[in-house]
Structure 1
Amino acid sequence: MNLFATLTSVLSSEILSRIATYIDEPIEKTGKAVDGLVYTIVGGLMKRTTSEIGVNQLYNHIQKGRYDGAALDNLGTVLRDPAHTNTLITQGNDVISHLLPAMKSSIGSMISGYAGIRNSSAISLLGLTTTIVLQVLGKQVKEQKLDADGLASTLFAEREAFVNIVPGEFMPQLVEKVGLQQIVSGLAAPARRTAVEPAGRSVTTATRPAVNYDLADDSDSDNGALTKWGVGALIAVALAFGGYYLYQNTQKYSNGQEEVTDVTSTTNDTLQADTVTRSLEVPREQAVKTVPKSTSVSTVASTTGLATAATSSNLTLQMTPYLGNAALPKGRVFPLTGIAFQPGSLSMTPSSQAIISELTTILKTYPRLQVMLVGYANDAQGGFTNKSLSFKRVNQIKQQLMSSGINFLRIDAVGRGTGVARNDTSGIAKPTLRKIDIKVVVK
């Protein structure tokens, strides 16, 4: 299905006008906020269906909430009634709290800043837009008789359209806020709820009774009592074991015995793990000693340990004095002229890897450094657009940096297509671009 085209049809100018009247915001800002929320909700649901529990939750909410598309037929009439509109908002916000737990507030703040509307308006639009998206998905489930796996696969079929349609200025914050790194890079896939019996017959779990993952109070049930006793027993055992372990180590220490404990390094996977509670707050800048004006470029390079002039490339020689001087403001852009791709493809030239390795060294040398990779492309071929190609290229560089141990929160990736805006009416001819830049966001 063409999900975004369907949603654009449903969210007509008449519908947006009535929504804007309800939340008391300008229609232009309302439309921009709704668009941003459509991208956010669809992307969030894709991420949710990468786990079996998420697949079940989405399908069960559609079934239990009777999202079958019927409400779309008279949506304009419903939105005339404030009471009915509020019901849709409440229903959608309840669902989003289950499907994207602990993210409602952060999504509201993101949309509020993106569209320039009040935070309360963004939260109301989040509930209403969620309900509309689920109605469209539910209609697809009903018409095509999809099970949970079919719904997840159908949703993931929109990934390419998702990457192409999300505006370049919105994509970085959407990816980081909702945790869509694996989605946009094409590394994620919908979870499959299938198992094979010993006899060799394939059994699809979608045929099993629907599982309810909603939180419920089971304190009065036998199962709830048994669960509590079981948890209590486990806690008691853990405390006993901990006491015994502490006693043994205390005894060894008192007898003059020393033990060497293993120190396990935090793995790259842990650094890249996406949780809804991860804070994306930019760290406060700490005082950095200013390099004296009399210090030469070669001295700075030697002091930081990056490389000497004999072994460093132009990138290191350009960035080292800038990053080492706290008096220079952040925001400077450096061209990554050493990174290039084969025309119309995602295949890097062999010499590009050396620049990526060098960039990795720079990021490790300056652990507070946060950057934005900005890509431009004018050589798209086949199914690619210049915008999607430019984004995929910089995202590929980001993935390599992450694989080398760089925390993904330190790297933004933005694709700007040819660099020429579609709505440019100046009449002045502008050259299309094919390059990759790196912008320093935090020093």
Structure 2
Amino acid sequence: MNLFATLNEVLNSDVLTRIASYVDEPTEKTNKAVNGLVYTIVGGLMKRTTTEIGVNQLFNHIQKGRYDGTLTDNLATVLRDPSQTNALITQGDEVISHLLPAMKSSIGSMISGYAGIRNSSAISLLGLTSTIVLHVLGKQVKDRKLDADGLAASLFTEREAFVNAVPEEFMPRLVEKVGLQQVVSGLATPARRNVTEGPGRSVSNGSGSTARSTATVNRPSVSYDPVDESDTDNGALTKWGMGALLAVALGIGGYYVFQNTKNHSATSEEASDVTTITSDTIQADTVTRSLAVPIDTTAKPKPKVTPPTAATAVSPAQPGALAGNLTQLMTPYLGNAALPKGKIFPLAGVSFYPGSLSLTAGSQATIGELATLLKTYPQLQIQLVGYANDAQLGTGTTNKSLSFKRVNQIKQQLMSSGIDFVRIDAIGRGTGVPKNDTSGIVRPALRKIDVKVVVK
């Protein structure tokens, strides 16, 4: 059963109207906020269950909190009572503090900005929605007799539905705020508990049933070193005294070496007239020199600026970088401060095999080239926009989720190259054609990736 379909049934129009009345916000904005919170909580729980501790915590909270789905049967009635509604919010706040620690405030501000409601309302809705989501999950645990591993596995079966359901404008901020890069790209998996500790112990198989284990614990052998008979109080004092003398001697020797090195350095500086620089200065100077070529190129008083060649686009500070097609296209634009932001460049060198997340040969070179540009221009922020119309039928993957996973994979590689994730936005537009479109517009080419300059 689709988790999001169940939640849509529970959070019907009557329920949402009562929730909006409680938080004193417009129904439309409340609906948008609650939907955003559903995606946030489910995504956060997926991430949480990638660790063994998270798997146990989620299952234990459902069991101890008696989240069995009974609330969802008469939710509209319960919400008529403000005191009961407040109790549900308080209960959800406690759960969020344990399952998504230190994230309540950031989630509240994200939802507040996304739905256009007060931050206090977003926090209240977070607690209430958390309680509802756990009751829906608890009903699955009860009906399907799931154990902790089974619950985590069941949660991860919703990953494709999650990627497809999250609104396009909300996905980037959700991924970055909650840290769902690994989840949405399909790289994260639910953790499995290690329970094989002795003969006859019940071992979960992840589906709710158990089997009797006959495995035994292999305990490491313990060896004992002979005790030094001289290690008495007097012996200890002697050792401490020797250690203190040795430390003093090392200190005197180190100070002597330091003074000689300092004098030698001062002499060398006077002789060669070279200023001492720090590692930070080196990095700043490298960036300055790498920026020098494109800036000087556009600053020359020529009526027309021609794209730089491989020899001019790459600074001497980066002799290993080769100026490819992407560099030739973007460098004149990025180096000219007068040109407005927002220009889109095709990432033509990057492509994927049909219906997969496997990059074709030569794609890595273009991704590396983009990483070099991001390092060369430290203020540069980009948005990766992916299109796909080659999702394989019968796999459960849509063109939208495939396009998003592809651009997110490129984002992950850029982050691995040392680029801060806040500088890279990633969205997938599927085929790029609305479902109800009848214009007959030709769909984008397979595996099309664009780079949009957000900040220069």
Q: Any idea what the Cα deviations from partners look like across 1:371-407, whole Å, max 9, x if unmatched?
A: 2111012232222211111112212222332333433
Normalised to the residue count of structure 1, the TM-score between the two structures is 0.77
Aligned pair 1:67/2:77, yes or no?
no
Q: How far off is 1:338 after superposition? A: 2.1
Mapped to 1, the partners of 2:318 and 2:344 lie a distance apart of 19
Q: Any idea what the Cα deviations from partners look like across 1:134-192, whole Å, max 9, x if unmatched?
A: 00011111122222222111111211211121122111110100001111111111121
Aligned pair 1:349/2:360, yes or no?
yes
Counting only pairs closer than 5 Å after superposition, residues 395-410 of structure 1 correspond to structure 2 as 395-410=408-423
- Residue number in structure 2 paired with 1:387: 400
- Name which one, 1 or 2, has greater alpha-carbon Rg: 2
Mapped to 2, the partners of 1:107 and 1:37 lie a distance apart of 8
Mapped to 1, the partners of 2:360 and 2:205 lie a distance apart of 46
Q: How far off is 1:317 after superposition? A: 1.0
Structure 2: segments with no counterpart, 5+ residues: 209-243, 262-278, 280-290
Counting only pairs closer than 5 Å after superposition, residues 89-238 of structure 1 correspond to structure 2 as 89-197=89-197, 203=203
- Residue number in structure 1 paired with 2:308: 298
Distance change in 2, residues 1:53/1:30 (3 Å) = same
Percent identity of paired positions between Structure 1 and Structure 2:
69
Distance change in 2, residues 1:134/1:439 (3 Å) = same
Q: Any idea what the Cα deviations from partners look like across 1:357-383, whole Å, max 9, x if unmatched?
A: 211222232333322111012232222
Distance change in 2, residues 1:246/1:48 (3 Å) = farther
Q: What is the identity, as a one-letter code, of the residue corresponding to 1:253?
A: G
SS at 1:255 equivalent = helix
Counting only pairs closer than 5 Å after superposition, residues 283-432 of structure 1 correspond to structure 2 as 291=296, 293-294=299-300, 297-298=307-308, 301-303=313-315, 312-382=323-393, 383=395, 384-422=397-435, 428-432=439-443
Distance change in 2, residues 1:306/1:338 (3 Å) = farther
**Residue 55 of structure 1 contacts residue 149 of structure 1 at CA under 8 Å; is this kept in 2?**
yes
Normalised to the residue count of structure 2, the TM-score between the two structures is 0.75
Mapped to 1, the partners of 2:107 and 2:32 lie a distance apart of 14
Mapped to 1, the partners of 2:409 and 2:436 lie a distance apart of 28
**Residue 341 of structure 1 contacts residue 347 of structure 1 at CA under 8 Å; is this kept in 2?**
yes
RMSD of aligned Cα (Å): 3.3
Q: How far off is 1:10 after superposition? A: 0.6
**Residue 194 of structure 1 contacts residue 205 of structure 1 at CA under 8 Å; is this kept in 2?**
no
Q: How far off is 1:438 after superposition? A: 0.8
Structure 1: segments with no counterpart, 5+ residues: 208-242, 266-287
- Length, aligned pairs only: 379
Q: How far off is 1:304 after superposition? A: 7.4
Mapped to 1, the partners of 2:182 and 2:249 lie a distance apart of 45
- Residue number in structure 2 paired with 1:36: 36
Q: How far off is 1:333 after superposition? A: 1.7
- Residue number in structure 1 paired with 2:51: 51
Distance change in 2, residues 1:105/1:337 (3 Å) = same
- Residue number in structure 2 paired with 1:255: 256
